[in-house]
Structure 1
Amino acid sequence: MSGVGGGAASSTARPASPSPVIGGQSDAERELLARVPTGLLIAGEWRDSSTGRRLEVLDPSTEQVLLSIADATVDDGDAALAAAHAAQRDWGRTAPRERAEILRRAFEAVTARADDFALLMTLEMGKPLAESRGEVAYGAEFLRWFSEETARISGRFATAPDGRSRLMVTKRPVGPSLFITPWNFPLAMATRKIAPAIAAGCTMVLKPAAQTPLTALLFAQVLQEAGLPAGVLNVVPTSTAGAVTAPLIADSRLRKLSFTGSTEVGRRLIAAAADQVLRVSMELGGNAPLLVFEDADLDRAVEGALLAKFRNNGEACTAANRILVHESVAPEFTARLVERMREFTLARGTEPGTRIGPLVDAATRDKVAELVAEAEAEGAAVAIGGRARDGAGFYYEPTVLTGVPAGARILREEIFGPVAPVQTFADEAEAIALANDTEFGLVAYAFTRDLNRGLRLAEELEVGMFGLNTGIVSNPAAPFGGVKQSGLGREGGFEGIDEYLETRYIGIADPYA
């Protein structure tokens, strides 16, 4: 799961407030929040919702309200799609270089305002400021990458094998697209959908997660300033996601759906998209194994595990959900892992030195606590952590579990929190069997000095991405996506732009006939 569709939203609908800024923050935080758009972006204009209802966005570290923003209705969603549909013809005919320059200017603007974006993500999502800064760099790179790919969209021309005709193949934009993005990476999940769509010449409706819509609104403002024409991107945050998006998916004007979130919600969206035979891209759940073999460099393996497990508070579809360690090195590996985690600081993400911030909402924290409690009841031991923190904020202690029994729910479901269950294996065959024992197939990690083993794992593990001796694989220049029930399609890399292009074949009569 990547954050959409799981648990209760930490936001509520309420009447319009005289002032959008409600919670008490530092002067720098208040100044930033005062510059964030609080309306819906439809046809190039910032507007209130059709009913005037508001959506409150919480700070997960204090449970105070950051901002009250416009809460889109079904009518607002329809208006957004109408704007995208109206803009599609002209936008699809815009010169590739012009689209590329908009993306390049957006990259430069996001980079120049990195501190703003980082602070805003920390405020609404909870991740440490250092993590947010990393996401700004990662998210901005999609803008630069696809700005460079825009002018490289190409086709081909050939003589038919029988010589009687000529074959021309061209690429054209898919058309108006609906993007449903999760809360865990508010900027990067938007840029890795929006950037290739702009490059391909598609118009868009973006429905950001209700927990973290502020970053998307600020990014949309940056795109406006970079010269994106009215109607090309429309943004409709809402507390009633299903009600707003269902009519759009059923609308013949929509031609593409891209979703990042839980497999459960993804299945429903795929089924709904079938009626219109929409092009779909689905980045769904993960249950990533991290394998540590007996010949691994344990220092590197521990560092990789800390990165793969605890990046983004553990709230990532790529997080190492199951740490599988060879039985001969498991005690030493676990001891080193726990010792490093004793250095972790659990605090508000804006505090210097914070390694783990609050989880995004109460439902996410409570699920983590439930999974740990169930594992303990079934015989697992807590090596460190294992408790929710009392007081304000949705905090859960960084945790290591050992002796987790096979079949435990914590090994089958995404944890989406800072909890590392450690299992052992006896040999390579058992490690592969354990790693593949899941319906998910997004990513896997392995640490070994044996190159041949690494190559075998790359072929045997049932995943779309594989990190060998590294705890991070995400890169804008690489195709991101999974197999099995982890999704369809790829984002990033040369493959990312193809998700927004249709192939057209034109047969031409023999010019010599």
Structure 2
Amino acid sequence: MSDIKSRLKDSGLWRTDSFINGEWVKGDSRFDVNNPANREKVADVASVGAEGAKRAVKAAAAANLAWRKTSAFERSRIVNRWYELIMEHQDDLGIILAAEMGKPVKEAKGEVAYGAGFVQWAAEEARRVHGETLPVPTPGARGWTIRQPIGVVSCITPWNFPSAMITRKCGPALAVGCPVVIKPASETPLSALALAELADRAGFPKGVFNVVTGEAREIGPVLTGSEDVAMVAFTGSTAVGALLMEQAAKTIKRVALELGGNAPFIIMDDADLEKAADGLVQGKFRAAGQTCVSPNRVFVQEGVIDKLTELLKTRVAKLKLGDPFADGTDVGPLIHEEAVSRVAELVDNAVSKGAKVLTGGKSRVDDMGGAYFEPTLISGADHSMSLACNEIFGPVAALYPFKDEEEVIKLANDTPFGLAAYLYTRDSGRMHRISEGIDFGMVGVNAAMVGSPATPFGGMKQSGIGREGGKWAAEEFTELKFVLLGGVDQ
């Protein structure tokens, strides 16, 4: 078994039991967490099942009234203390994340800081949840609105951002007065449990912050079905999101869903091609391509596709595939070997239909001993290939030629998904026409990253419901109430 705990400066962050009502709970069984880089067991973690989930929801419900009545200033202080502790332990949290998920450790530490930014913003936003005074038609009456916390929130999070997807949801939920019950992915529960340890140190009252680990099929129905849960916040696949939405509908819960993507990356003939190539490599190959906003279809205008192809070929070939803890590693493993097989099938399908692999294109599972797939560049892709209609979730960039604006807008929108999109051009008119014409919730123009604590993050169509980040996140976790006062003139 990998001895990751010995690498930590603070061994108290190494937690393998669920955190329920301020206590560490062992559960009736355990499950293994494995390092995708070398197949070694990292830890065995408590599986608390449906009964553990019920206990956590009950604890959160019991804590709900007191937490919502806690002053915004006190909630802000505690949430900000959580942020401070996360940043103080950034290195250790990055090590844990890299071991269970496979991101290069430098990138993993970057995720910790990125996620912590949402907690810091939420701590500040807790003091800015405002109502409004409204005009009313009745003489002698007054009207106003207030925002109140929605109640207990279940947060179901994925393995690809095991730290940031928790902080992005729980930061604003906690800040506005909602207790949380977190169900992390079974592939990557250790980051969630380390965050729970820091939340406990930050001073959240018992029951306000809970993490339940174990089988999703046992825990999920409790978190979506309990009448004590007011809202379900989920990041993951569209198929699972649709299932959770169906389950939540039985008790008319609010849902916030950040689901699958099929991001177009559009490069016009007037673009700065060097910057476009750099941006594509940055966006495509972080987390080995396993992000919901990763460029999935690279549309390049015909007049510049040959030059851009050469620029990309050089850059992709230089990327170093390797162990997350090795110096110089640019791209780590995929989450497991089943993911490698899936990516290999997508590449094989493209080649069988006429695409050409320019660099990479092969599984490295056998010779590298982990879930590795080479950083890959493919030319000659089209929408008949599985690459075009499936979220790749791997280190594969496929190039699609196009003629003009009208065609590329049509191609970009030819998907049921609408999360993120990217556009490289120096023409201001094109910036407006294309960004307004494509149906995506976020558009990066001459920018390869679209998420930050201050901005709204979310999609259109089958990519989800709701927004995370900025003031919009606080609004997601509150109810808007109108109050009418009559008889003021009497």
- Determine whether 1:472 maps to 2:457: no
Partner of 2:111: 135
Partner of 1:257: 232
- Determine whether 1:507 maps to 2:484: yes
Alignment gaps of 5+ in structure 2: none
2:451 partner letter = S
- Deviations along 1:380-421, whole A, 9 cap, x unmatched? 110000000024110000001111232211110100000001
Partner of 2:46: 70
1:418 partner letter = P
1:222 partner letter = L
Within the candidate set 300, 303, 312, 1:325 is matched to: 300
Taking the aligned partners of 1:483 and 1:353, their CA distance within structure 2 comes to 37
- Deviations along 1:418-476, whole A, 9 cap, x unmatched? 00011100111111111111000001001001011001112101000000001111111
8 Å Cα contact 1:167/1:508 also seen in 2: yes
Partner of 2:7: 29
Using structure 1 for the length normalisation, give the TM-score: 0.93
2:303 aligns to what SS in structure 1? Answer: coil
8 Å Cα contact 1:135/1:185 also seen in 2: yes
Instruction: Please list, as runs of the form range in 1=range in 2, the aligned pairs for 1:26-425 lying within 5 A after superposition.
Output: 28-29=6-7, 35-49=13-27, 51=28, 53-238=29-214, 240-389=215-364, 390-391=366-367, 392-425=369-402
8 Å Cα contact 2:296/2:388 also seen in 1: yes
8 Å Cα contact 2:152/2:230 also seen in 1: yes
8 Å Cα contact 2:104/2:324 also seen in 1: yes
- CA positional deviation for 1:137: 1.4
Against the structure 1 CA distance between its residues 114 and 248, is the aligned structure 2 distance closer, same or farther, given a 3 Å change threshold? closer
2:229 aligns to what SS in structure 1? Answer: coil
1:466 partner letter = V
Taking the aligned partners of 1:141 and 1:211, their CA distance within structure 2 comes to 24
1:401 aligns to what SS in structure 2? Answer: strand
Within the candidate set 422, 431, 434, 2:411 is matched to: 434
8 Å Cα contact 2:76/2:175 also seen in 1: yes
Taking the aligned partners of 1:401 and 1:296, their CA distance within structure 2 comes to 21
1:133 partner letter = K
2:86 partner letter = V
- Deviations along 1:61-117, whole A, 9 cap, x unmatched? 010100111112111111010001110010110010111011111111111111111
- CA positional deviation for 1:123: 0.6
Taking the aligned partners of 1:326 and 1:258, their CA distance within structure 2 comes to 39
Taking the aligned partners of 2:219 and 2:305, their CA distance within structure 1 comes to 49
1:426 partner letter = K
2:318 aligns to what SS in structure 1? Answer: coil
- CA positional deviation for 1:161: 2.8
1:224 aligns to what SS in structure 2? Answer: helix
Taking the aligned partners of 1:385 and 1:25, their CA distance within structure 2 comes to 32
8 Å Cα contact 1:33/1:67 also seen in 2: no
Taking the aligned partners of 1:143 and 1:304, their CA distance within structure 2 comes to 27
8 Å Cα contact 2:42/2:100 also seen in 1: yes
Taking the aligned partners of 1:439 and 1:32, their CA distance within structure 2 comes to 45
Taking the aligned partners of 1:398 and 1:163, their CA distance within structure 2 comes to 69
Taking the aligned partners of 2:213 and 2:91, their CA distance within structure 1 comes to 23
- CA positional deviation for 1:156: 2.1
Partner of 2:430: 453
2:346 partner letter = L
- CA positional deviation for 1:242: 2.0
- CA positional deviation for 1:141: 0.4
- CA positional deviation for 1:131: 1.1
Partner of 1:11: none
Taking the aligned partners of 2:428 and 2:178, their CA distance within structure 1 comes to 43
Against the structure 1 CA distance between its residues 139 and 26, is the aligned structure 2 distance closer, same or farther, given a 3 Å change threshold? closer
Taking the aligned partners of 2:487 and 2:331, their CA distance within structure 1 comes to 67
2:415 aligns to what SS in structure 1? Answer: coil
Against the structure 1 CA distance between its residues 307 and 292, is the aligned structure 2 distance closer, same or farther, given a 3 Å change threshold? same
1:24 partner letter = S
Taking the aligned partners of 2:313 and 2:238, their CA distance within structure 1 comes to 32
8 Å Cα contact 2:4/2:96 also seen in 1: no
- CA positional deviation for 1:34: 7.0
- CA positional deviation for 1:248: 2.9
Taking the aligned partners of 1:466 and 1:171, their CA distance within structure 2 comes to 30
Q: Percent identity, aligned pairs only?
A: 40
- CA positional deviation for 1:26: 6.6
Q: Between Structure 1 and Structure 2, how many residues are aligned?
A: 488
1:386 partner letter = G
Taking the aligned partners of 2:12 and 2:74, their CA distance within structure 1 comes to 32
- CA positional deviation for 1:162: 3.3
- Deviations along 1:264-306, whole A, 9 cap, x unmatched? 1111111111111001000000000000110110110001101
